[in-house]
Structure 1
Amino acid sequence: MTTLNFRAHCFAVIAATLVASFLPFELRAQDREESQAMVLLRGLPTLGTSHSIAIIELDPESDRFGDILSETEQPDLVHPLHHLYYSPSGRLYATGLDPICSLAEVGLERDATGAPTVTGFTCLETGGQMVGEDIMWHTSNGAEYMFVTFMAGRGGDDGGTVGVFDPQTNEVVKIIEARRSQVGEGKPFIMYPHGISAFQDRMVVSSTVHPDLATGVGNSVAIIDLNTLEPIENIVVENEKPLNFPSSPVEVLFARPDLNENIEPAVLVNTMFGFETWKIPYDASAKSFGTPEVVYSGAQNGTAVPLEFYGNEDELFISHALPGVVKRYHLSKLPELVSSGPDIEADPGAHHIIFFTSKSGRKLIAVQNNLLNLGNAEDGDPTDVDFIAAINSHTITVHDLATGERLASVDFKEKYNKGVENVEGLFGSGFVHHH
């Protein structure tokens, strides 16, 4: 459940029971961990703040809504930790943008009152792999591993790797690397990998963009054979070029029957600069992929920069950074995108999502609204990239899940002089499936 060892956990439970009897009823009544979230916060250069990991309250029915309940600063990191992931055993990990901490394990424990608290983080050895993005746990030849995409890989203009880690020791088992400049013409390659997903013995990773946002942009996904841990195929997903850039596939989801028995296996791909969602059919018996096709065009529907795939028991949600909207689809209809309800209108930069319930039992969805939290040159911020600065609202908006009604919002730049890099549920994933 947490990273506590058993003895410390027992002590915390006993201590919490004793101390709780002395706490005011009003505070105890609001101590609902389900509505608390883990967030990664990005310090903003012009505001003199540092990056941090925090726990915040997101229940609009709480008078502590938007409050930071626990926080650990990251003053030595130039670039922040980036994405949060819980392992199947409940350990909490974060990928990172800083070369000195591209993968970390986060300490999450309980204090003497039993309240969750962030105790720090430990940067892990990656074998020289840099700029960690997504994490996935899956099996290869009967053994479970932690797979991590590193957009910069071990450096270079066409860098990018997938790290294979022992999920118990965090040690590097293998680095999957295939530079386009070295493998030869027409051979499968891995470049700027970001999104990752798998089904049976096939794994797919996207080729997004060089971490410097200038050197290069990808337009394909790589298929990796989990028996050999080597790339075997590249599939191009590019059609319209509304920005005159390659499509930049970002997140991928291997839609599969274990998510819903009615799903026909296929890979769904969001193209960040193509504004599209693609479907790549998969024949599980032949282990072959069909012809990719566009199932949603942002250019034709007034949306741009599709980012994440999230889901609950019944629906799939896709966030679109512009205009800042989350669209929803019937899970059972995948890989076709059949609308299941009203759009959730968030803020520009709509990105990561969690699901939870309010104190009164209302089902809620929270949306983190930013891409990378880079600043605006007009404010003297040296991190400015015009296109990205336009889709950083620095907010988390909370909505009624059924209707999409916005119930509350917290602006982290206004309240804490920071941007919000990522949001995740406390003590476990706030969604059923992702990537």
Structure 2
Amino acid sequence: MLLACSQAPEPAVADFNSEKTQGLVLLSGLPALGTKDSLAIVELDPESAKFGEILYEYELPEFDAPLHHLYYSPSGRLYATGLGTQCSLAEVKLVRSASGAPAVNDVDCLNTHGQVVGEDIMWHAVDGTQYMFVTFMGGTGLDQADGGSVGVFNSQNNELVTIIEARKSVVGEGQPYIMYPHGISAYEDRMVVSSTVHPDLATGVGNAVTVIDLNTFEPIENIITEEAKPVGFPSSPVEVLFVRPSIVAGAQPAVLVNTMFGFETWKIPYNAEAKTFGTPEKLYDGAAAGTGVPLEFYGNEEELFISHAIPGVVKRYSLKDLPDLVSSGEDIQAELGAHHMIFFETASGRKLIAIQNNLLNLGNAQDNDPTDVDFIAKLNDHSVTVHDLITGERLGAVNFKAKFNKGIDNIEALFGSGFVHHH
């Protein structure tokens, strides 16, 4: 879901809250380098003498795969999804110590009732009740070649309400299905999830977006978003964004879709009165433009940002022109694997963007790490680059592998302080 927060007025330097320049990062231990997974707070202000330092670190329990994404709920609670089967969804107890300093006092793995490999989280109200929706790329079993599910949880107590599941092999030919869901977004009583890739990165790849009726919690339609196959795989839709009036006043609702292996961004028009989706339209062709593996949608009050892992750039578009993509400035030059991002201001009032550059931390053959996947390893710079938001100028970089012998999986603002729309 896109969470929209109003931008706070620019603070006076004397009143500046230094926590706003600190990133909350998930770090992956690299087995061959003897390090372990952790959750850390890192100073990202290039004007600070402590730039690039880990200010606080909490060692995570050993799971069969790393935690993957961090999300703040509308009430400020912190959650993480996980790429394995032992902890696919967790609530992270981010608190303040007696001295007021940020700290983690627990990571509570939640009961997903067999759903594995958690990816994205969205909070959305249905008939006045707010739920937490979570995509599970592995569905109810990694042995399922066509698995995948959406877990619906009580947003207050984290208890499972229901599992939305519709495997191709079970529902029958021509019926709507859910397979390898990753991205998720919603508007009113329609939710969309993407069909990305089987968690083993080998069994299967999707090429569609699934529409779910939130009145019944049932899938009702699959929409193909695929044209060319620049790397020979199905398009693998990854993140989706339901453009809606709460994001852009007066916007015509539509779904934007990034296709990881198609290198494209698509628009699916939506008629809110008739509750029907129109013919998908390709808005951006990465193969022609020289970019690949588009990943995330982020935005502030004026712009939408889309990260492209190859060659490692973030493109920017005018928010008021959505759902069409109208360029609002030059690309921000990051590094291979450009992925998640946060926005913040320095004490001097300079607006910055920090970009995490890696696709997945699955190891590197040079480190004799048995989890290596060549394609993934090439898209891991293991860094965060910090840029002037207005000009795109790079002001600094932190390479977590070189400095801390770890990879970086995800970055979020500490206590959600950055105002941001997030896929």
TM-score by length of 1: 0.92
The Cα shift of 1:182 comes to: 0.3
Deviation at 1:75, TM superposition (A): 3.9
Report the secondary structure of 2:416's partner residue.
coil
Gap runs ≥5 in structure 2: 1-13
Give the SS at the match of 1:152.
coil
Query: Contact (CA 8 Å) 2:27, 2:38: kept in 1 or not?
Result: yes
Does the Cα contact within 8 Å between 2:238 and 2:257 map onto a contact in 1?
A: yes
Tell me if 1:68 matches 2:43: no
Q: Is the partner of 1:321 in helix, strand or coil?
A: strand
1:356 paired with 2:361, answer no
State how far apart, in whole Å, the 2-side matches of 1:429 and 1:268 are.
26
CA contact (8 A) 1:70 1:118 kept: no
SS of the aligned residue for 2:386 comes to strand
1:56 match = 42
Match of residue 421, structure 2, among 400, 408, 433: 433
Which residue of 330, 334, 353 maps to 2:318?
330
2:78 maps to what in 1?
92
Alpha-carbon shift at residue 98 of structure 1 (Å): 1.9
Aligned to 2:164: 176
Equivalent position SS for 1:427: helix
Deviations along 1:385-413, whole A, 9 cap, x unmatched? 11111010000000000000000000000
Instruction: Find the counterpart in structure 2 of residue 273 from structure 1.
Output: 261
Amino acid at match of 1:121: V
**Equivalent AA in structure 2 for residue 315 of structure 1:** E
Q: Which amino acid aligns with 1:86?
A: Y
- Between Structure 1 and Structure 2, how many residues are aligned? 408
8 Å CA contact 1:310–1:353 kept in 2: the answer is yes
> Any conservation in 2 of the 1:358–1:364 contact (CA below 8 Å)?
yes
TM-score (norm 2): 0.95
CA contact (8 A) 1:262 1:333 kept: no
Question: Higher Cα Rg: structure 1 or 2?
Answer: 1
Change (3 A) 1:30 1:331: closer
Please point out which of 121, 126, 133 is paired with 1:140: 126
1:305 matched to 2:293? The reply is yes
Give a deviation string over 1:217-263, Cα, whole Å, max 9, x none: 00000000011111000000000100000000000000111111142
Q: Could you tell me whether the CA contact under 8 Å between 1:249 and 1:272 is conserved in 2?
A: yes
Compute the displacement of 1:47 (Å).
0.5
Contact 2:64/2:86 (<8 A) preserved: no
Task: State the match for 2:201 in structure 1.
Answer: 213
Quote the residue 2:63 is aligned against.
Answer: 77
State the superposition RMSD in angstroms.
Answer: 1.3
Paired residue secondary structure (1:397): strand
Q: Is the Cα–Cα contact under 8 Å of residues 20 and 417 in structure 2 kept in the other structure?
A: no
Give the distance between the partners of 2:40 and 2:366, measured in 1 at CA. 29
Give the aligned partner of residue 381 of structure 2: 393
Instruction: Tell me which residue corresponds to 2:29.
Output: 43
Cα distance, 1:119 vs. partner? 2.0
Q: Who is 1:293 aligned against?
A: 281
Q: Among all aligned residue pairs of Structure 1 and Structure 2, give the percentage whose two residues are the same amino acid.
A: 71
- C-alpha distance in 1, partners of 2:304/2:40? 27
How far did residue 29 of structure 1 move?
9.3
Inter-CA distance 429–203: structure 2 relative to 1 (3 Å threshold): farther
Greater alpha carbon shift after TM alignment, 67-76 vs 206-215: 67-76
Moved over 4 A (4+): 28-31
Structure-1 separation of matches of 2:90 and 2:82: 7
d(CA) in 1 for partners of 2:26, 2:346: 22
What corresponds to 2:402 in structure 1? 414
SS of equivalent residue, structure 2 residue 356? strand
Q: 2: distance between equivalents of 1:117 and 1:378? A: 34
Residues 1:293 and 1:306: Cα distance change in structure 2 (over 3 Å): same
Instruction: Give me the whole-angstrom Cα distance separating, in 1, the residues matched to 2:125 and 2:246.
Output: 15
Give the Cα separation in 2 of the matches to 1:124 and 1:424.
21
Output the CA distance in 2 between the equivalents of 1:300 and 1:222: 27
The residue that corresponds to 1:375 in the other structure is 363
Partner SS, residue 295 of structure 2: strand
Unaligned runs of 5+ in 1: 1-27
Report the equivalent of 1:11: none
